[in-house]
Chains A and B, each alone.
Chain A
């Protein structure tokens, strides 16, 4: 069984597919396995195909896996769309009596089971999902009781009777399968030692928790898939810590509220996705020139425009790096794991205040909405650093109007006061200005201020911004950023088994670009394959711009809406290696 099991449930949107997946994943997580869940869904409330893939492993992974062992299908479309992922000997559980859903081609065991009918017998057709969970339990050798704690958590608010009937639906499915079928599949070996604080968490949840831990107390945001879960999480917890979530009228309002709050000294952010991020560009420039800390979370989705609004993509890199008119310093973080979503969310607030500039934390739908089991989050390492924010005693002796908020100095970072402080009065301003913040057009001062802002990131050192595995002189060096770390890592393992010398460079800070750390892996590699979920090769462009080596940089791109699979990368590597050139 190779240490893993792939399970998928699919049907029409709105018929409980997500909750079926959640109950199964949570149960496996609590039993001590590692679960990773990817939701495939459409931009509509009811109808349309949706599925929920869960990969059960004996170790932490960052990918939902290429293979499928069990497919639970509530309709024909689920079979038609997903059968080709099934491994030899896989099992299809199809709702209904024999013939209602037609079996797929191939060698999978096909089990027609009247899931809905059995649920009706148990009390209600809506429990067909629980019957399916019971069937799954029978296939993989779990017991209905294994699901009890999750069922209780989900349904105890509705009363013991609801808990009981759901558990009995699981039992009915379990018994039915055992009475009628004999194919079984094994779960991976249960990991021997699972940390007690083993977490099942999404990138969005980790990002929101990181913001709370960083002392963010104002979130201004406009709902947008796939970033809304950050709002949901913070709207629940910010009030417990004295803060507030404002649902703004649009993303322009949201980002300006966040800027205003940061100016006044309270850590604030906005969370959005591509269309909203586009609306924020002008304020990005204001934050840059007025040197106001600002944190923007962009959970990228497929563009351009409305694009594929419920599908993943990494196509906002150009915009994060270059968006907004004029030239400003900025920091762009692309966390590569759920753990980094947490840690970088904390650091985003520190960096925004240390460097007094906008920080863009760019994850994507795949990272944001997929849930996975991880060992822990580094909560004990959280530290709040507010940079050159002055205290009242620092302002002792400064007369009102004499505070140099935009002092031209060596490191380019000036002292920052906040309203309410005596002696700190200044105007934060989008016009070019002198050291006091007065609008002016003096050429010499303009150049001094531009240069001051440009040099503030030259000593950036807080995050290395890159993770590397493998040798500098690899036959092929795979380079990715953000959420693709897990899938590239697994592709590397497959390629190494084929005897190929492979390195993996995963970039988690794209600005300031960690050129010195990456260069040896590009300079030493025979071929560099930049793996990214967009059509233009935006990271590859950045590598060429910052490092050169145009002769050896090739791309592995995916932009059809589906997340990368291991085999996509392996196939592209084989192509690149077999032709012996990058074209």
Chain B
């Protein structure tokens, strides 16, 4: 049984206090609690500070190009359905350059877990507007304040039919870990957006801001996470500053719905066609 140190990779180079440490810690804790083996896990990460997660976590990893974590992670899962596959990236990676893949991954419902470390800014490139930056937010690329309306990833997820929609906060590791546990266990595409403050470039979406404004769904006794309309209303009421599992609903996964798709051993099988296979296949050309 793997222990916490087994899930440690390289030493992180994030800025001291970066929200991404909390995400890494919560993920490591979750993996131990779920009894996972790091070598049966793959973390596919994108570009940005968040993209370094694959190197700092102790599993197999694929540090891919900007915005393409989701198609790559789906490819990994299709190749080997026995792996636990996570995709991880930031708000720019997922909701800027990679937005198209986000919607389609939810539609497709391959069993992977997607973590977005949302800091409302481009950090690694030293502070530009992100798709989740609030209107009016001042950055190097919007010196007079962002003009555009921010993306609302959780509302998008709900309308795209995502079967698991949650939000966490890297300042609350126990809650985040509990969310991640459910997300990884969920059969199908799971989306966890995580408020992960950038202590260097974002002085607005700070730990203090989240601590004093976050509403937790757990605190709402009447909340029903199987009701998408309630989830939508909750996001509306809280102006999306809400954490917990907002929505969970089982629907058949892509891989289970494809006829005859091999459940185990696709990556290691000897896929050799026999003479009679060829005879059968060539008959259509004769």
Choose, from B79-87, B139-147, B202-210, the stretch at the interface. B79-87
Please determine whether B286 and A199 come into contact, CB atoms closer than 8 angstroms. yes
Please determine whether A266 and B282 come into contact, CB atoms closer than 8 angstroms. no
Please determine whether A419 and B271 come into contact, CB atoms closer than 8 angstroms. no
| Interface residues as binary, B119-151 with A (CB distance below 8 Å gives 1, 0 otherwise) | 000000000000000000000000000000000
Checking B108, B255, B285 against A205 with a beta-carbon cut-off of 8 angstroms, the contacting residue is: B285
A523 within 8 A of partner (CB): no
In the bound complex, residues from chain A placing their C-beta under 8 Å from that of B271 are 214-217, 241, 267, 384
Please determine whether B285 and A286 come into contact, CB atoms closer than 8 angstroms. no
In the bound complex, residues from chain A placing their C-beta under 8 Å from that of B273 are 212-213, 241, 379, 382
Q: Considering the chains assembled together, what is the distance between the CA atoms of A205 and B285 in angstroms?
A: 9
User: Taking A253-B71, A420-B267, A438-B10 as contacts, is the C-beta distance between A430 and B100 under 8 angstroms?
Assistant: no
In the bound complex, residues from chain B placing their C-beta under 8 Å from that of A290 are 62
Checking B9, B44, B78, B286 against A200 with a beta-carbon cut-off of 8 angstroms, the contacting residue is: B286
User: Taking A262-B79, A419-B76, A419-B80 as contacts, is the C-beta distance between A428 and B61 under 8 angstroms?
Assistant: yes
Please determine whether A420 and B281 come into contact, CB atoms closer than 8 angstroms. no
Residue of B nearest to A371 (CB): B285
Checking A220, A249, A283 against B65 with a beta-carbon cut-off of 8 angstroms, the contacting residue is: A283
User: Taking A243-B261, A249-B100 as contacts, is the C-beta distance between A430 and B65 under 8 angstroms?
Assistant: yes
Please determine whether B260 and A419 come into contact, CB atoms closer than 8 angstroms. no
Checking A200, A215, A379, A427 against B62 with a beta-carbon cut-off of 8 angstroms, the contacting residue is: A427
| Interface residues as binary, A374-415 with B (CB distance below 8 Å gives 1, 0 otherwise) | 000101101010000000000000001100000000000000
Please determine whether A419 and B262 come into contact, CB atoms closer than 8 angstroms. no
Question: Number of A residues whose C-beta is below 8 Å from B?
Answer: 72
Please determine whether A438 and B282 come into contact, CB atoms closer than 8 angstroms. no
User: Taking A198-B286, A286-B65 as contacts, is the C-beta distance between A420 and B72 under 8 angstroms?
Assistant: no
Q: Considering the chains assembled together, what is the distance between the CA atoms of A423 and B60 in angstroms?
A: 10
Please determine whether B72 and A431 come into contact, CB atoms closer than 8 angstroms. no
A185 within 8 A of partner (CB): no
Most A Cβ at <10 Å: residue of B55, B72, B108, B273: B72
In the bound complex, residues from chain B placing their C-beta under 8 Å from that of A254 are 71
In the bound complex, residues from chain A placing their C-beta under 8 Å from that of B76 are 260-261, 263-264, 419
Checking A249, A252, A268, A438 against B55 with a beta-carbon cut-off of 8 angstroms, the contacting residue is: A438
In the bound complex, residues from chain A placing their C-beta under 8 Å from that of B78 are 218, 244, 246, 257, 260-261, 266, 268
Please determine whether A253 and B104 come into contact, CB atoms closer than 8 angstroms. yes
| CB-contacts of B51-100 with A (<8 A) | 52, 54-55, 58-65, 68, 70-76, 78-80, 82-83, 100
User: Taking A243-B262, A244-B258, A380-B275 as contacts, is the C-beta distance between A419 and B71 under 8 angstroms?
Assistant: no
Q: Considering the chains assembled together, what is the distance between the CA atoms of A10 and B36 in angstroms?
A: 63
Q: Considering the chains assembled together, what is the distance between the CA atoms of A259 and B6 in angstroms?
A: 27
B221 within 8 A of partner (CB): no
Q: How far is the CB of A416 from chain B (nearest CB, A)?
A: 12
B42 within 8 A of partner (CB): yes
Please determine whether A286 and B75 come into contact, CB atoms closer than 8 angstroms. no
Residue of B nearest to A252 (CB): B68
User: Taking A242-B266, A256-B64 as contacts, is the C-beta distance between A197 and B282 under 8 angstroms?
Assistant: yes
In the bound complex, residues from chain A placing their C-beta under 8 Å from that of B59 are 419, 425
B250 within 8 A of partner (CB): no
A237 within 8 A of partner (CB): yes
User: Taking A266-B267, A438-B10 as contacts, is the C-beta distance between A200 and B75 under 8 angstroms?
Assistant: no
In the bound complex, residues from chain A placing their C-beta under 8 Å from that of B234 are none
In the bound complex, residues from chain A placing their C-beta under 8 Å from that of B285 are 199-201, 205
| Interface residues as binary, B35-51 with A (CB distance below 8 Å gives 1, 0 otherwise) | 00011111010000000
B272 within 8 A of partner (CB): yes
B270 within 8 A of partner (CB): yes
Q: How far is the CB of B68 from chain A (nearest CB, A)?
A: 4
Please determine whether B62 and A265 come into contact, CB atoms closer than 8 angstroms. no
B268 within 8 A of partner (CB): yes
User: Taking A243-B266, A253-B101 as contacts, is the C-beta distance between A286 and B278 under 8 angstroms?
Assistant: no
Q: How far is the CB of A240 from chain B (nearest CB, A)?
A: 7
Q: Considering the chains assembled together, what is the distance between the CA atoms of A213 and B267 in angstroms?
A: 15
Question: Number of B residues whose C-beta is below 8 Å from A?
Answer: 58
User: Taking A200-B286, A268-B79 as contacts, is the C-beta distance between A424 and B266 under 8 angstroms?
Assistant: no
Checking A260, A379, A382 against B71 with a beta-carbon cut-off of 8 angstroms, the contacting residue is: A260
Residue of A nearest to B60 (CB): A419
Please determine whether B278 and A379 come into contact, CB atoms closer than 8 angstroms. yes
Q: How far is the CB of A251 from chain B (nearest CB, A)?
A: 10
Please determine whether A248 and B261 come into contact, CB atoms closer than 8 angstroms. no
B222 within 8 A of partner (CB): no
In the bound complex, residues from chain B placing their C-beta under 8 Å from that of A260 are 44, 62, 64, 71-76, 78-79
Please determine whether B64 and A286 come into contact, CB atoms closer than 8 angstroms. yes
In the bound complex, residues from chain B placing their C-beta under 8 Å from that of A421 are 39
In the bound complex, residues from chain A placing their C-beta under 8 Å from that of B266 are 217, 242-243, 266
In the bound complex, residues from chain A placing their C-beta under 8 Å from that of B70 are 253
B259 within 8 A of partner (CB): yes
User: Taking A218-B78, A428-B63 as contacts, is the C-beta distance between A256 and B72 under 8 angstroms?
Assistant: yes
In the bound complex, residues from chain B placing their C-beta under 8 Å from that of A379 are 273, 275, 278, 282
In the bound complex, residues from chain B placing their C-beta under 8 Å from that of A424 are 39, 60
In the bound complex, residues from chain A placing their C-beta under 8 Å from that of B65 are 256, 282-283, 285-286, 430
| CB-contacts of A266-293 with B (<8 A) | 266-268, 282-283, 285-286, 290
Please determine whether A427 and B80 come into contact, CB atoms closer than 8 angstroms. no
In the bound complex, residues from chain B placing their C-beta under 8 Å from that of A429 are 55, 61-63
Q: Considering the chains assembled together, what is the distance between the CA atoms of A248 and B72 in angstroms?
A: 11
User: Taking A239-B260, A265-B267, A419-B80 as contacts, is the C-beta distance between A256 and B71 under 8 angstroms?
Assistant: yes
Please determine whether A425 and B58 come into contact, CB atoms closer than 8 angstroms. yes
| Interface residues as binary, A285-319 with B (CB distance below 8 Å gives 1, 0 otherwise) | 11000100000000000000000000000000000
In the bound complex, residues from chain A placing their C-beta under 8 Å from that of B269 are 242
Q: Considering the chains assembled together, what is the distance between the CA atoms of A376 and B191 in angstroms?
A: 50
Please determine whether B58 and A265 come into contact, CB atoms closer than 8 angstroms. no
The 10 A-B residue pairs with the shortest CB-CB distance in the complex, in nearest-first order:
A260-B75, A265-B267, A215-B271, A242-B262, A266-B79, A257-B75, A264-B79, A261-B79, A253-B71, A427-B61
- 11 A–B contacts, CB within 8 A, in A order: A240-B260, A244-B258, A246-B108, A262-B79, A264-B79, A283-B65, A290-B62, A379-B278, A379-B282, A419-B76, A420-B267
Q: Chain A residues in contact with chain B, CB under 8 A?
A: 30, 197-201, 205, 209, 212-218, 220, 237, 239-244, 246, 248-250, 252-254, 256-268, 282-283, 285-286, 290, 377, 379-380, 382, 384, 400-401, 418-431, 437-439
Q: Chain B residues in contact with chain A, CB under 8 A?
A: 6, 9-10, 38-42, 44, 52, 54-55, 58-65, 68, 70-76, 78-80, 82-83, 100-101, 103-104, 108, 255, 258-262, 266-273, 275, 278, 281-282, 285-286
Known pairs A249-B103, A425-B58; list 16 more (Cβ under 8 Å).
A215-B272, A242-B262, A246-B108, A249-B101, A256-B71, A264-B80, A266-B79, A267-B271, A420-B39, A424-B60, A425-B39, A426-B61, A427-B62, A428-B62, A430-B63, A439-B63
